[in-house]
Amino acid sequence: MIQDTQYHPLNPDSLRQVLSDLSSLAIRLGGAPSDWNIREVSDGNLNSVWLVHGPSGSLCAKQSLPHVRVDPSWKMPLDRTTFEAGWLQAIAPLVPDMVPEFLHFDPQLFLLVTACLDDHVTFTEALAKGMDPAPVASQIGRFVAQSTFHTSWRGGPFENMARLEGFFSGNTTLTRITVDLVLTDPYHDHPRNHYHPALKPLVEQLHTDPAIHRSVCHMQSRFFTAREALLHGDLHSGSVMVDRNGASVIDGEFSCIGPIGFDCGMFVASLILASFAAPTEARRDQIRQAAPIFHQSFLKAYCDEWLHSDAKTDLAPAFLTRHDAAEIQRQKQEECDRITTDTAGFAAMEIIRRLTGYAHTSHFDNLPETDKGQKQYQALSFAIQLLSDLKAAPENLFPRGKTAL
């Protein structure tokens, strides 16, 4: 049992002291502690984050607070950085070029230290500045495929999965937030919900329409019972840092075991939201096209792993299927279809909660008020259409005729 007794929220002075006592980090930064520039850059909902620069190197320090950072009255246990550290260490060997390097974790201070992604911005910010989203979408498709395949029943012996389940099932604090904020609150009146007044008729539909509630129950059941792989758990565009060389995924504090389509759906939802918020039709189409690009990249990388990975697995081991190419194809198709349907359902729910729940997207922030209402209405209508008919949702989300692939 981890004791919280030595915990205290850090400030730049106390962080400087903590870092100076850790020789490998002090050497990385170089010079004397007084030479280090420590800048607080917390902008997520939950934690404190600092970037530290010294004469010879840099790092990023992230500490849990005993409450939600943006709402100190919302008290919260500290263990989220423990799970973020566990997630980073579990997936870094699988996608080493797509996550920041793990440097240190202090379980008493709940302090996680990683490499600093100097000169990166969030994918949200890059989208707002007009970046072509296709290369990042393609890269994140590979990221989700590689990080989930190798932490799934198919990517290793069942003992690996048992170990991951044992650890990440403990992340009940942040999984509770996902369960409430993403999977439940938007479908009834809840004091945390808020939305643009133009969305009122659609919100009433979300609260009362039996077809929507049936789909919500189905997606909730997928989330709880489809124990497929280790997920990032919060893969929106703010969890992806980009520079001109590519993308790095951060913020794995919501990591949990669940359906692979959950991570896919979170990312696709960010693209769909950004496309509806786009200032011109051309830009809207460009961002919209990145959703099928992500999806195709995911499917290709996932199937490549399936065919070429030499992982020892207890799920359909090669000797059961190697003489029957059609059977392999059938199994792959079935699994890809299931992930794609989950992707569409969870994407719809993520779009809905980012417009009507507690934690909104910033994609629409800079639009004039009337535009904002109108564009959010279009985005929400699209998500409601997806969720109302889950069978048709994959084709509506990734129309075959319109894909650039």
For Mg ion, the binding residues (CB under 5 A) are 44, 251
The nearer residue to Mg ion, 44 or 156, going by C-beta atoms, is 44
The nearer residue to ligand SR1, 150 or 353, going by C-beta atoms, is 353
In the complex, least distance from residue 72 CB atom to ligand SR1, rounded to whole angstroms? 12
The nearer residue to Mg ion, 122 or 215, going by C-beta atoms, is 122
The nearer residue to Mg ion, 335 or 350, going by C-beta atoms, is 350
Please choose, out of 43-51, 123-131, 197-205, 367-375, the segment that lies near ligand SR1 by the rule CB under 6 A: 43-51
- Residue 181 as a binder of ligand SR1 (CB under 6 A): the answer is yes
Binding residues for ligand SR1 restricted to 359-398, rule: CB under 6 A:
359
CB-facing half-sphere around the CA of 9: CA atoms within 13 A: 11
- Residue 179 as a binder of ligand SR1 (CB under 6 A): the answer is no
Between the CA atoms of 137, 139, 141 and 145, what dihedral angle is there, to the nearest 10 degrees? Answer: -170
- Which residues have CB under 8 Å from 37's CB, separation 6+? 52, 53, 54
- Which residues have CB under 8 Å from 361's CB, separation 6+? 124, 236, 270, 273, 277, 354, 355
Cα gap 209→31, rounded to integer Å:
63
Tokens of 99: 């996550």
Among ligand SR1, Mg ion, none, the one that 141 touches (CB under a kind-dependent 5 to 8 A) is: none
The nearer residue to ligand SR1, 65 or 181, going by C-beta atoms, is 181
Instruction: Tell me which amino acid residue 270 is.
Output: S
- Residue 249 as a binder of ligand SR1 (CB under 6 A): the answer is no
- Which residues have CB under 8 Å from 210's CB, separation 6+? none
- Residue 46 as a binder of ligand SR1 (CB under 6 A): the answer is yes
The nearer residue to ligand SR1, 38 or 216, going by C-beta atoms, is 216
Nearest CA among 73, 251, 63, 80 for reference residue 175: 80
Binding residues for ligand SR1 restricted to 78-117, rule: CB under 6 A:
none
Binding residues for ligand SR1 restricted to 57-76, rule: CB under 6 A:
68
The nearer residue to Mg ion, 251 or 342, going by C-beta atoms, is 251
In the complex, least distance from residue 44 CB atom to Mg ion, rounded to whole angstroms? 4
Q: Residue 226: left (phi > 0), alpha (psi -120 to 50), or beta?
A: beta
Interface residue with ligand SR1, options 45, 58, 296, 331 (CB under 6 A): 45
Cα gap 253→234, rounded to integer Å:
8
Q: Give alpha helix (H) positions in 150-259.
A: 158-168, 172-177, 200-208, 210-225
Cα gap 355→378, rounded to integer Å:
11
Cα gap 173→218, rounded to integer Å:
23
Cα gap 393→347, rounded to integer Å:
10
In the complex, least distance from residue 265 CB atom to ligand SR1, rounded to whole angstroms? 13
Please choose, out of 42-50, 152-160, 268-276, 331-339, the segment that lies near ligand SR1 by the rule CB under 6 A: 42-50
In the complex, least distance from residue 113 CB atom to Mg ion, rounded to whole angstroms? 17
Among ligand SR1, Mg ion, none, the one that 359 touches (CB under a kind-dependent 5 to 8 A) is: ligand SR1
- Residue 198 as a binder of ligand SR1 (CB under 6 A): the answer is no
Count of residues touching ligand SR1 (by CB under 6 A): 8
Q: Which residue has the tokens 């917390």?
A: 42
Interface residue with ligand SR1, options 29, 88, 94, 177 (CB under 6 A): 177
Residue 168: strand, helix, or coil: helix
Helix (H) or strand (E) holding 296: helix 281-308
Please choose, out of 38-46, 86-94, 309-317, 379-387, the segment that lies near ligand SR1 by the rule CB under 6 A: 38-46
Among Mg ion, ligand SR1, none, the one that 121 touches (CB under a kind-dependent 5 to 8 A) is: none
- Which residues have CB under 8 Å from 268's CB, separation 6+? 291, 294, 295, 343, 347, 397
The nearer residue to Mg ion, 151 or 255, going by C-beta atoms, is 255
Among Mg ion, ligand SR1, none, the one that 181 touches (CB under a kind-dependent 5 to 8 A) is: ligand SR1
Please choose, out of 44-52, 94-102, 134-142, 302-310, the segment that lies near ligand SR1 by the rule CB under 6 A: 44-52
Q: Applying CB under 6 A, which residues contact ligand SR1?
A: 44-46, 68, 177, 181, 234, 359
